[in-house]
Structure 1
Amino acid sequence: MLGVLGGSGLYEIDGIEILEEKKLITPYGEPSDSYIVARYKGKNVVFLPRHGRGHKFPPHLINYRANIWGFRKLGVRKILSISAVGGINPLLRPGDFVISNQFVDFTKVRPVTFYEGVYTIHDEEDRTDDLVNEYLKNDRVVHIDVTQPFCPVMRGTLKNVLEDMKVRFHSTGTYGATEGPRLETAAEIKALSILGADIVGMTLVPEIVLARELSMHFASLNVVTNMAAGISENRLTSDEVIQMMREKNEEIKKVVLKFIESIPESFDCSCEDVLKGAAI
C-alpha cells in the first residue's frame, strides 16, 4: 500500500473516496495527525499531513519516527513525499518539480534511527515476521546502506507521470536537508552549492532514512517555491512559499492521482533488501 506525506488537504481530490480517519498511538508517541485512509480506482492509499492540519509542528519538532512507524502499522510499504523547497541550482525556477535522487544531511537534533541498541524502543503489538521486528526485539545496532537512498521504480514512475503531464521538472536533484525552522544564510547556501545540493528543505531527513530502515520504498517530489538565500535578490518570506504551493496545488493533486494509478504492483529494486547484513 502507498502512503503520501505532504500538506494538509492533499487528499481532498475529486475521485478519491475517503474510507476512514485513523488516529494512532505509537511507541514513539503520537504522529502529526490522523491518517486518512482512502481509495482511488481500486487502490488503497494513506495520507498524512507531516506538519499536522493547520501546520502545527515546525520541521525540527515533527515526530518523524511516529509518522513513519504509523505507516508501517497500517501496512504501508511505499511512501511518496511531497515537499516545498528552495532552489539552489541556477537552472531551477520557482514552480519547477524536482525528483530527488540524493541528499546531504545538515540536521542536528532529530532522532534519526529506530535501532538504538540497548536504548531501542519496542512495539509489543508488532507481530510482523521480518528483519525489522527481529532487529528491534534483539536490540541490534543497524547501519543501513544509503548509497542510492530513493526507490528507482517510484522515481521512474514519477518521471513518466510528469512527462505525460508536460510540466517543467528535473528528474534528478540533490536535496540539502537543514534543521530549521529559520531559513539558511547566504553562506550556508553557498556551502551547500559547493557540496552539490540543488535544492534545500527541512523535512526529507530523517523521513527517508527512517522509511529505509523499515525496508520501505520511498520517493521525494519537491516543488521549488523560491530561490534560496543569496541566490534570490529579495528577502525570503513564508508568504511566497505559501503562494507558490497554492498555485501548484491542483497540479500536485493531478500528479498524486496519476502516480497512484501508474505505480506497479511489484517492484524490481533492492529497497526491501536493505536490512540484510546491516546489523551488528
Structure 2
Amino acid sequence: MPDQITPIIGLIGGSGLYDIEGLENRQWRRVESPWGEPSDELLFGTLSGVSCVFLPRHGRGHRIPPSELNYRANIDVLKRAGCTDVLSLSAVGSLNGDLPPGTFVIADQFVDRTFARKKSFFETGCVAHVSMAHPLCPRLGDALETAAREIGLKHKRGGTYLVMEGPQFSTKAESELYRSWGCDVIGMTNMPEAKLAREAELCYATVAMVTDYDCWHPDHDHVTVDAVIKVLLANADKAKALVRAVVPGLGAARGPCPAGCDRALDAAIVTAPEKRDPALMTKLDAVAGRVLRAA
C-alpha cells in the first residue's frame, strides 16, 4: 500500500486577502529560502483541525507589485513548511461576458504572457523539464467546486487564465486579442507561480476572483482601481468562506496524487549526476530533494 500523506494546506492570498480568519494556534513565522526573500512571513495555524500555512502574495499592506514578486522564494518556503497542497487565490478581470464581477473561476488552463520573471528553479548546472499540459490539480479543483456549491458561491469550473506582465492594465486591442484566443480571465500573478509549484511537486489549484470586465466591455472600458477594490473587498470575504468550506475535506490522510502532481520530477531532470552544480543542488534541497536524494 502506498505511503499515506498527511496533508498540509498552503494558501496564497491575492489582492485584498492578507490574512485568514478562523485559524487557530496562529503564529506568523519567518522561513528562510536560498532563493531570496519571500513576500512575507508565513502564518501557521489549523482550520477545523487541518494544518494550514498562509502566505500573503503581495505582503501585508500590499507592498510588492506582480513583476517584483519573488515567486521562487514563495513556493520554496511553502515547500519547506511542509505544504503538500496549495490553493492560490487571485483577483482577475473577466474576458467572458458570462463571468461578471463577483464570479469565482476554478481555472484549469493558463496562457503565460509574462516576460520579466524567473520561471524555474532549474538553471545552468541542473536542467529539468516538467509537463505543464494540465497545469492545475483536478483533485483540488473537485474539492473547490464541491465547497463552492455547498456555500452557494457563484462559480465556474474550468476556464483559461491569461497571465499578463502588468502592472498596467490591458489596452483594448490586447483585451480583444485575448478574448479571440478563448481566454476567460486575465490576471498578473499565477505565472510563474503554477510552473514553480509543479517543479516543487506541489498539488496546486487556482481560484480566480473576478473584479471587473477588463476594458473590452463597452460599459467597462476604463478599469479603475477604485472600482476594482470595491468588488475585491467583497470577493475577499467570499474567498475566506470558500477556504473555511474546502479545507476540512482536504485534511484526511491520502495516497499519492492521482494526477501525478507530487511526482512531477520523476523523469524531468536531464543533467547527468556528475555534471550537476553542487551549489545549485543545495538550493534545490526542498523543491527537488525527493528525486535528488534518490539519484
TM-score (normalizing by structure 2): 0.84
Kept in 2: contact 1:94–1:224 (CA 8 A): yes
Partner of 1:116: 123
Count of aligned residue pairs for this structure pair: 258
What amino acid is the match of 2:162?
G
Matched, 1:46 2:53: yes
Partner of 1:125: none
* Structure 1 spans left out of the alignment, 5+ residues: 119-139
The one of 212, 216, 241 aligned to 2:198: 212
Percent identity between matched residues is 34
What amino acid is the match of 1:11?
D
Within a 5 Å distance, the mapping from 1:93-172 to structure 2 comes to 93-118=100-125, 140-172=126-158
What amino acid is the match of 1:99?
I
Matched, 1:83 2:73: no
The separation in 2 between residues aligned to 1:85 and 1:232, in whole angstroms, is: 18
CA RMSD of aligned residues (A): 1.4
Kept in 2: contact 1:32–1:67 (CA 8 A): yes
The separation in 2 between residues aligned to 1:219 and 1:232, in whole angstroms, is: 31
Return the offset for 1:247.
1.5
The separation in 2 between residues aligned to 1:232 and 1:2, in whole angstroms, is: 40
The separation in 2 between residues aligned to 1:9 and 1:182, in whole angstroms, is: 21
The one of 256, 261, 264 aligned to 1:274: 264
Return the offset for 1:232.
4.7
Return the offset for 1:254.
1.1
What amino acid is the match of 2:78?
F
The one of 253, 257, 267 aligned to 1:265: 253
The separation in 2 between residues aligned to 1:84 and 1:145, in whole angstroms, is: 26
What amino acid is the match of 1:246?
L
The one of 161, 175, 195 aligned to 1:189: 175
Kept in 2: contact 1:10–1:253 (CA 8 A): no
What amino acid is the match of 1:272?
D
Return the offset for 1:10.
4.8
Return the offset for 1:241.
1.7
**Tell me, what secondary structure is at the counterpart of 1:200?**
strand
Kept in 2: contact 1:19–1:39 (CA 8 A): yes
The separation in 2 between residues aligned to 1:72 and 1:107, in whole angstroms, is: 24
The separation in 2 between residues aligned to 1:196 and 1:265, in whole angstroms, is: 38
**Tell me, what secondary structure is at the counterpart of 2:118?**
coil
Partner of 2:279: none
Q: 1:107 to 1:259 in 2, by over 3 A?
A: same
**Tell me, what secondary structure is at the counterpart of 2:91?**
strand
Runs ≥4 in structure 1, deviation > 6 angstroms?
none
The separation in 2 between residues aligned to 1:78 and 1:271, in whole angstroms, is: 10
What amino acid is the match of 1:62?
L
What amino acid is the match of 1:265?
A
The separation in 1 between residues aligned to 2:253 and 2:150, in whole angstroms, is: 20
Deviation digits for residues 230-274 of structure 1, max 9, x if unmatched? 225231111122111211232211100111111153243311121
Partner of 1:56: 63
Kept in 1: contact 2:111–2:161 (CA 8 A): yes
**Tell me, what secondary structure is at the counterpart of 2:112?**
strand
The separation in 2 between residues aligned to 1:17 and 1:6, in whole angstroms, is: 18
TM-score (normalizing by structure 1): 0.89
**Tell me, what secondary structure is at the counterpart of 1:221?**
strand
Deviation digits for residues 79-138 of structure 1, max 9, x if unmatched? 1000110000111111001001000010011000000022xxxxxxxxxxxxxxxxxxxx
The separation in 1 between residues aligned to 2:166 and 2:59, in whole angstroms, is: 17
Within a 5 Å distance, the mapping from 1:8-87 to structure 2 comes to 10-14=18-22, 16-87=23-94
Deviation digits for residues 150-209 of structure 1, max 9, x if unmatched? 001000000000111122110011000000000011111111112221000000001100
Partner of 2:165: 179
Return the offset for 1:9.
5.3
